[in-house]
Structure 1
Amino acid sequence: MLSYNIILLLVFIIISPFLLYKAITKKRFRYRLFDRVIPKAVQEKDYILVHLASLGEAKAFLNIKDTIENLFKKKIIFSVTSNIGYDYLKKEGFDVFLAPLDFYFLYKKLFNDNLPFLSIFFETEIWPAYINFFKNNHIRIFLINARMSEKSYKFYKKLKVFFSSISKFDVIIAKSQNDKERFYKFNKNVKVCDNVKYALQSKKFEYEFLPILKSHNKKIFVFSSFHCQELDFLSKAIIRVLSFGYKVVLAPRYLEDLPLFEKMLKDLGLDYNLLSSMKNTIKDCILVDSFGVLEAIYSISDKVFVGGSVAGTLKGHNPIEPAIYKNFVFCGLYMDSFKEEVGFLKKLGCLAQINDIDELSNYLKQPNLAFCDLEQKRQQIIECYKRVFLKFVTQA
């Protein structure tokens, strides 16, 4: 662990000019920076710590939060790595802090004498110093909804000396059989409970913009979580979708890229509304400039194209959330982070991977594209997590 932290420190020093540049130019890189290098000590006692990265992971974990709290009869507090995840959990009223840089001594300062009863890491959050700190203090550690791509598997094998921390998880709950087989090379106590993101339960929302969007008789097509690298495809796709009579809602992945999306719409000659200032009279294109509202928009939309999937440098975003709200889902060919989910939704007939604009048109010509009913899958996942955690309760 000492060698890992020395190497991490050297890397941090070498790339510090780049990090400084990013902090100046990108808000999310400078967000609460001092909390990451001078963490405030946790004050809670006898709690469960859940560590995750982003907004999507936070929403996914909340699907099973009540199940875990009811089993252990303890409060959950969150540790996160992204500003988006932090803001969302704060807004929802949860106790949350930003995880510091992965140095062992920072965790000693962070937790002081207030260690958790149990620690739960989510998906790919494998931070060697964080994990070793808990293990050295005899705290049980779970990795849940665990995923490991083929590329990550090869990387971990090459640097096994640093990622031996994977073997220190008391239990790993993988999201697929393929993930289980990869994790099994590092840790023999691996279970499968499928992707916890399927356990999302649809909600009702009361945003002021929803009745305005619904008051116009056109069906809603959402382009969600698109990156600036995808603007060329997006500009063609929006024109094509509008030609089929849809109202288009466009949500950039990062709000800091909003000016680029506005420029694209202006270059296309399209009138648009910003969601935050939308009034009773709205245009056929709405640009989302507000944080944390996509799920609400999914609840009234008809079709969704998931971004992060049409540029080869990206790996896709979660197609499950729009499917939960009975949307037909489109995505591009680059969905490496969600291969199993894409395959599952394809089998149910409610997702299509699109190679070009003409293929998108062919689907839009079909009058009754299917939607998914995922309630049975949700119940199966909740029961699976109950079984695994209940076994832990009886053994603890």
Structure 2
Amino acid sequence: MLIFRIIYNLIIFILLPIALPLGYLFALKKNEEKDYFERFGFIKIENIPKKSIWFHCASVGEAKSIKILVDKIREELKDISIVVSTVTYTGKKIAEKELNPDISFLLPLENSLAISYLLHLLNTKMFFIVDTELWPNLIYSVSKKCKLYLINGRISDSSFKKYYFFRFLFKKLLNHFEKIFVKSEGDFAKFSKIIGSDENLINFGNLKFFEKKDVDISEVSFLEGKIITAGSTHRGEEELVLAAYESLEDSFDKLIIVPRHLNRVDEVLQLVGNKGFYPVRWSNGDSAVKNAKVIVVDVFGILEKLYKISEKIFIGGSVVENIGGHNIYEALQFEKVVATGKNMWNFKEIYDLARKYNVVYEVEDTQQFIEYLRDDFLISADFYGFERELKKKAREKLDKILEEIRRWV
């Protein structure tokens, strides 16, 4: 392991003279040069905290996901300062807006001297890495100075193959964490296999599930009528959606398909065209979209807005067998009964809860999808019970983290 660290840091040392000026040129191009040198440890701290908890978030999604936890810490531990670092400039701006941290900056990436100095200066008692950001120098430096935790831990199927192959390295890294709070049972199993133990693992779930969002629908408000949205779809699922829609086309004004991976947009457009429809890209503009029956979304950031205005919603990654589902709470928060396939193991806890209160409908074939589109399942749905139990689980889970925090601060 020592040899690996020597080689790793030697590579960083060699690349640094090249990366620094190139990175600055990219920052200039994107108008991000003001904070650029924070990446190399040049960080100004105006008010030194008596003690702090430091959250590191890679970017926007991670910063947003911990809002409920940060708010809870502020509510119960008023003498603790909140420090947030990010990898991206956009992530920093979102973190400042959403989390209102006492101190925020771009992480001095893999700079052990800068990290150690900041941990001492900020009197950091606990360090949370949000999501699975496994930077070796960061992990080694933090674990020597304070308690290190991983929260919202996840490992994709493709990443797991690499992690497992190099588990002799990743096991060492993961053993530096006091506890690892993972997103799902699937992630729990993956971390267990890599580490060789589940002693310090906790199946926490996703913090994003525990708080409703204030979603602005002005960007999609020009859409009218009865809308079906098929979100985060994968190859093989669009055919199911289109077959069901074809049977009940006259009952709906629009079908909107949002592929999980936008590099499949052309493929999906061709598939829709081959079925006899005339699809329109979302990027073609409001007028074209407003007059179309089938729309394929080719931009980021509007899925939840579409869920909010839709009458029927299908969440993809759940009919195909190798994905494990996607986040159903993005739609359930709007009190819409959603359809999914049965393959929801990555979100088993919230999926089982949703089925308990009849707020999700399982489809396996075209006929079941048609039944979902045709029938009104809101009659038997208990969103009040679902939200009440979800909040109860959220409190229990947050209490686990607060219990850990109280141990060390």
TM-score (norm 1): 0.71
Asked whether the equivalents of residues 199 and 381 of structure 1 are also in contact (C-alpha less than 8 Å), the reply is: yes
Which residue in the other structure is 2:231 paired with?
224
From 235, 248, 251, give the equivalent of 2:258.
251
- C-alpha contact 1:324 1:372 (8 A) present in aligned 2: no
State whether structure 2 residue 64 is matched by structure 1 residue 64: no
Partner of 2:347: 338
Q: Is contact 1:64–1:382 with CA below 8 Å preserved after alignment?
A: no
Name 2:320's counterpart in structure 1.
Answer: 311
**Alignment-derived partner of residue 75 in structure 1:** 82
**In terms of mean alpha carbon deviation, does 175-184 or 262-271 score higher?**
175-184
Paired with 1:386 and 1:42, the residues of 2 have a C-alpha distance of 36
What is the match of residue 108 of structure 1?
A: 112
Residues 289/149 of structure 1: CA separation in 2 closer, same or farther (3 Å cut): closer
1:135 shift after superposition? 0.9
Alignment pair present for 1:351 and 2:374:
no
SS of the residue corresponding to residue 297 of structure 1 reads helix
Instruction: State the match for 2:218 in structure 1.
Output: 208
Tell me by how many angstroms 1:340 deviates. Answer: 2.8
Q: Does 1:395 align with 2:408?
A: yes
Query: Which segments of 5 or more consecutive residues in structure 2 lack a partner in the other structure?
Result: 10-29
Asked whether the equivalents of residues 88 and 292 of structure 1 are also in contact (C-alpha less than 8 Å), the reply is no
One-letter amino acid of the counterpart of residue 198, structure 1: F
Q: Structure 2 vs 1, CA of residues 332 and 5 (structure 1 numbering), >3 Å: closer, same or farther?
A: farther
Please show how residues 16-55 of structure 1 align to structure 2 within 5 Å: 39-41=39-41, 43=43, 45=45, 48-52=53-57
Q: Is the 8 A contact 1:49 1:79 kept in 2?
A: no
User: Per-residue deviation at 1:55?
Assistant: 5.9
SS at match of 1:75: strand
Distance 2:94 2:292 in 1: 29
Q: Secondary structure of 2:67's match?
A: helix
CA distance in 2, matches of 1:294, 1:310: 19
1:131 is aligned to 139
Contact 1:42-1:114 at 8 Å conserved across structures: no
Q: CA deviation at 1:290?
A: 3.4
- Asked if residue 298 in structure 1 is aligned to residue 310 in structure 2, the reply is no
**Equivalent of 2:243 in 236, 239, 243:** 236
Corresponding residue pairs, total: 365
Q: Distance in 1 between matches of 2:210 and 2:338?
A: 18
State the secondary structure of the residue aligned to 1:133: helix
Contact 1:167–1:186 (Cα < 8 Å) also in 2:
no
Moved more, 155-164 or 298-307: 155-164
Per-residue deviation at 1:126?
A: 4.8
Once residues 240 and 88 of structure 1 are traced to their aligned partners in structure 2, the CA distance between those partners, rounded to angstroms, is: 43
Query: In the aligned structure 1, how far is the partner of 2:249 from the partner of 2:60?
Result: 30
Structure 1 residues without counterparts, runs of 5 or longer? 10-30, 101-105
Larger of the two Rg values belongs to structure = 2
Deviation at 1:200, TM superposition (A): 2.0
Q: Which moved more, 1:89-98 or 1:361-370?
A: 89-98
Work out the CA distance in 1 between the residues paired with 2:261 and 2:320: 16
SS of 1:334's partner is coil
CA contact (8 A) 1:167 1:187 kept: no
Q: Per-residue deviation at 1:349?
A: 1.5
What's the % identity of the aligned pairs?
25
Cα distance, 1:252–1:53 mapped onto 2, change above 3 Å: farther
AA partner of residue 117 (structure 2): D
Distance 1:358 1:163, change over 3 A: same
CA distance in 2, matches of 1:85, 1:337: 25
Rounded to whole Å, the distance in 1 between the matches of 2:176 and 2:97 is 33
CA distance in 2, matches of 1:349, 1:42: 53
1:388/1:296 Cα in 2 relative to 1: closer, same or farther (>3 Å)?
same
